[in-house]
């Protein structure tokens, strides 16, 4: 079992694991959770939790083939810097990961990575990368959010109409036409995204507003891939959609010495 922080205020509750600074539960008071969490995720040291918001950093997917898939942050132990009760409805939790002998062996740069999570009637996550080295480094990253849905056939993603995307399954460059509906495996990197995205479900609509990012990944494994995925029931593809706030592929970031880049997601 891994350590986690529990937040409970007048407007919402959340749970955040120190491993990976991983938000694995968020719900507004009296409402069902917004984040999906696999019932069969093991919460084991060294293994990413399946569900919630894994942090993919300093590399998204296999953008840097020298690193593990989605980087090392999601399995690294963060330090709990502070929990601040801003008011009865708003709690802020700050976690940091600093370079170490282990991270330098994997990725040869000195850095500080901070996740500031604000729990209120919105869930806000701000992931700040500071370069503590004397050379510029390149990152790709994502807040790989798993959203809970009533059923995949009832859910659609709005707000990406006419956006260009890379289909990660076929490597084709295509353009979105209308809403995204799910009738097969979807793994796409949308580009040039600057406005709000909506996840429309049977009885609620979740809004996602990103900053510091122009790429958004939309993913559902569908039937066959779901069976091959770790820590996921065979039928779990019916229950979630990932909409990921990213700096992926051409939307990579170069972070100069002493500079900070912040990727922000606001979910409500």
Alpha helices in the chain (DSSP H): 101-106, 222-228
Q: Which is nearer to ligand TA6, 229 or 266 (CB)?
A: 229
Shortest CB 135 distance to ligand TA6, Å: 28
Q: Which is nearer to ligand TA6, 48 or 208 (CB)?
A: 48
61 near ligand TA6 (CB under 6 A): yes
69 near ligand TA6 (CB under 6 A): yes
Q: The sheet that has 156-158: what strands, in order across it?
A: 79-87, 90-98, 111-119, 123-131, 260-267, 205-211, 197-200, 156-158
Of the candidate residues 216, 244, 261, 263, the single one contacting ligand TA6 (CB under 6 A): 244
Of the candidate residues 15, 70, 253, 261, the single one contacting ligand TA6 (CB under 6 A): 70
Residue-wise DSSP of 53-94: B-EEBS-STTSSTTS-TTBSGGGSBPEEEEEEEEETTEEEEE
49 vs 231: CA distance, rounded Å: 8
Q: Which is nearer to ligand TA6, 37 or 217 (CB)?
A: 217
Q: How far is CA 15 from the centre of its chain?
A: 15
256 is catalytic: no
Active-site residue identified among 192, 244, 256, 261: 244
Q: Which residues are catalytic?
A: 144, 244
Provide the binding-site residues for ligand TA6, judged by CB under 6 A: 48, 61, 69-70, 144, 187, 217, 219, 244
């Amino acid at each position: 079992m891994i350590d986690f922080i529990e937040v409970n205020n007048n407007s919402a509750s959340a749970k955040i694991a120190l491993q990976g600074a991983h938000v694995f539960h968020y719900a507004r008071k009296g409402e069902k959770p917004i984040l999906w969490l696999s019932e069969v995720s093991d919460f084991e040291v060294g293994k990413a939790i399946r569900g919630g918001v894994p942090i993919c950093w300093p590399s998204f997917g296999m953008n840097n083939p020298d690193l593990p898939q989605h980087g090392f942050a999601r399995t690294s132990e963060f330090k709990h810097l502070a929990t601040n009760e801003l008011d009865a409805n708003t709690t802020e939790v700050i976690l940091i990961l600093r370079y170490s002998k282990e991270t330098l062996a994997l990725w040869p740069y000195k850095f500080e990575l901070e996740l500031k999570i604000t729990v209120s009637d919105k869930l806000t996550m701000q992931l700040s990368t500071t370069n503590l080295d004397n050379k510029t480094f390149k990152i790709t990253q994502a807040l790989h959010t798993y959203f809970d849905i009533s059923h995949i056939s009832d859910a659609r993603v709005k707000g990406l109409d006419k956006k260009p995307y890379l289909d990660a399954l076929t490597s084709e460059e295509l353009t979105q036409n209308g809403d995204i509906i799910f009738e097969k495996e979807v793994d796409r990197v949308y580009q040039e995204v600057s406005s709000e995205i909506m996840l429309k479900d049977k009885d609620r609509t979740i809004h996602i507003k990103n900053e510091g990012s122009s790429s958004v990944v939309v993913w559902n494994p569908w039937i066959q891939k779901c069976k091959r995925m770790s820590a996921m029931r065979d039928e779990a593809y019916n229950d979630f959609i990932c909409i990921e706030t990213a700096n992926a592929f051409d939307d990579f970031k170069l972070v100069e010495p002493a500079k900070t880049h912040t990727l922000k997601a606001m979910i409500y």
